[in-house]
Structure 1
Amino acid sequence: MKTKLLFLMILLFTVLLTACSGGNGDTAKTNNGGNAKVDDVIKMVWYPNESGENMKASREEIGRLISEATGKKVEHQLTTDYAIAIETLVNNKADLAFTGSQAYIEAKNRNDAIQTIAVKTGKSGTLDDAKYHSWLAVNVDEQGKYKKNGKFSLDTIANTKFSFVSNSSTSGFKVPSANIIAHFSKQDKYANLTLEDLMEGGPLFSQVLFGNSHQGSAVNLLSGNADVAAFCDTCVDDYVEIADGDENTVGAVYRVKDGAAEPFNTVQGKEFTLMSVTPVLNEPFVVNKDVIGQEDFDKIQKLLTSDEMANNEKIFTAKDSGQTALFTKEGQERLVAVEDKWYDPIRELSK
């Protein structure tokens, strides 16, 4: 009788142990000491900027290649808000994401398991010129309001309706806000100006809007909802064309293309000019090591940094091809591995 009872107890313990282990898949220690399962699905979350229909071909091609490399299903999670994308990654609900550098830093501050895996180079094929541009733009017909002695001046943006992208955007908030605070804090009236002030409006702006994407911020300007807007060059490149001047230079004029897709379809033909241009470190692909595991990390990094990826026209399209893809190629652009410390200059903006 005792032997039978002991056998039943061992059997029960075994069943409970199996149930608690989840049955399938490895586990990885999470940042808070728990266990996150490394399962058979790679979940990739996308920012609003890359969640549109125009980026579908690139998203699906990246998913297909990752699936082939890992032998796992890839699920795309599209978003309409920066915060949702970041929360999904930080809270172990996604394995992989393509984020801005500021969002990466914010995510890593909250979960040390967030790591960079690859970043796009510049034309040289190296990190030396791996930069895009943060713009401050105004409508062409009103550009005279934003000049002093014939030159654009940040002094003129006081008391305007201003549009940012998101407070987690590098080029659409962090960089322009750092420049604005550095400029205005020299004046007694704005000596104590803070990031929170810029997000809330006063004392500098009469109203602050957030476009929730770079495209949305640009449309805020072109539709008349904002007087000045911050957004980046690469995120609107498919929708606009240079109309006058040299690309990415102060005073350059851009026009929304005829037939431009949403959300620019309502502002086709409208023009804006650049009053400020600031280089920014390129955006990284990042992973949550708690849920993706080292084996898949290595496979995906090898894929992303491969010649196959760099030469894939669904992901890297020639600038004059007329096609839309995640990246534009003008030279030797490709993805390369990048370390966390490369983004220290962005961290410095918060100090």
Structure 2
Amino acid sequence: MTIWKRAMVAAGLIGMSVTLAACSSPVANGGKKSDTLNVVFLPSDSAKEEDAARKALTSEIHKATGKKVNVVTTTDYNVAIQSLASGKAQIGLMGPDGYIQARKQSKDVQPLVTYSGPSGTLKDAYYHSYIMVPKSQATKYKVNGKYSLKNIKGKRMSFVSNTSTSGFSIPAGAIKKAFNLKSTDDLAQSGKFFSKVLYGQSHQGSAVNLLKGDADVAAFDDMDLTQYGKFQNNSDKAGAIFKINNNAPAPFTSVRGKSSVAIAAYKVQDEPLAVNKSKASQSDINKIVKQLTSKSVTNNKLFFAPANAKTRGLFTKVGNTKFVAITDKWYKPTHNILGE
């Protein structure tokens, strides 16, 4: 529905990536009285194509608080999560699992806003996690005429990162349940449940692993892929077909026009923009939420871009998509699924 999501990354995905260890910001150790705020982005949101969108977000935070705002991109999910939990970054655009892991490390981490569904509310504020296979191989994953996970054991599997909600936690949890496994530990290692396990380090990277033929099966979400391709049918369930655009930019230039089929699809709550409240004042937090939920941001195409926009937005505009203020209670279902 929208677009969002270690040391190695698929070519073309990084853009202006840096690590927080190298960040020379005066808030390296955090602090409420600092005149600077660091905003960290996950690898999937660190692509060069999202440069304008990242700058738009930090610009709005600057307008709201009057403070200097630094963009910090990453090539590692764990670096981004730990930076928010520690306060080296005061604000972060996190996946649901990334947010929950950061909050597990520090209760000072809390969500500020998420993006709504097409209704403009939270009732349809979710996206999808898929377990995909190449279209040419899809019939091999049918049992009694229906798509099934039964035949994925022993295959080459690509996940996003072991800290990605829709790129690992949700699909791994589904596989664990389907095969009655004790844990997901064996799913994360080559030579255990799968013959080989790859990590794309982003949803785009995981999709490329599949479409290039390096993996037989892959997990990734729709929100990070919709500006690179289109669903050819119902994207809500198994059987969904996703085709890469013929003019898709890097990292999909070598797999343009190729298609994958979902053998399983799962709903995932939309991700939050989160804050470490021990490193940002409540006044600044309130101002940021007010600014991001304003009409000017809602109508800004760098935040919510049409699906066919030439300039990539932070999210895709579907219906009345906009930012909505939330608290940790919104993620209770995800807390329950992950047991955190």
TM-score, normalised to structure 1, is 0.85
1:197-236 aligned within 5 A: 197-236=186-225
Match of 1:273 among 243, 251, 261: 261
Structure-2 change in CA distance of 1:251 and 1:307 (3 Å) = same
Partner of 2:3: none
C-alpha separation in 1, matches of 2:64 and 2:336: 36
Matched, 1:258 2:246: yes
Match of 2:147 among 149, 152, 155: 152
Match of 2:123 among 128, 132, 139: 128
Select the structure that is richer in helix: 1
Percent identity of paired positions between Structure 1 and Structure 2: 40
Provide the aligned C-alpha RMSD in A.
1.8
Match of 2:63 among 53, 59, 68: 68
Matched, 1:165 2:160: yes
What letter matches 1:178 in structure 2?
Answer: G
Match of 2:40 among 25, 40, 45: 45
Does the 8 A contact of 2:38 with 2:72 survive in 1?
yes
C-alpha separation in 2, matches of 1:160 and 1:35: 45
C-alpha separation in 1, matches of 2:165 and 2:212: 23
C-alpha separation in 1, matches of 2:90 and 2:117: 26
TM-score, normalised to structure 2, is 0.88
Q: How much has 1:36 moved relative to structure 2?
A: 3.3
1:87-98 aligned within 5 A: 87-98=82-93
Matched, 1:57 2:52: yes
Matched, 1:330 2:304: no
What letter matches 1:309 in structure 2?
Answer: V
Partner of 2:21: none
C-alpha separation in 2, matches of 1:253 and 1:347: 30
What letter matches 2:111 in structure 1?
Answer: T
Does the 8 A contact of 1:81 with 1:213 survive in 2?
no
C-alpha separation in 2, matches of 1:239 and 1:147: 27
Extract unaligned runs of 5+ from structure 2.
Answer: 1-25
Match of 1:113 among 108, 111, 136: 108
C-alpha separation in 2, matches of 1:207 and 1:43: 37
Q: How much has 1:92 moved relative to structure 2?
A: 1.3
Q: How much has 1:201 moved relative to structure 2?
A: 3.3
What letter matches 2:44 in structure 1?
Answer: N
What letter matches 2:270 in structure 1?
Answer: N
Extract unaligned runs of 5+ from structure 1.
Answer: 1-24, 28-33, 186-190
Query: Secondary structure at the residue paired with 1:274?
Result: strand
Query: Secondary structure at the residue paired with 2:223?
Result: helix
Q: How much has 1:62 moved relative to structure 2?
A: 1.2
Does the 8 A contact of 1:216 with 1:263 survive in 2?
yes
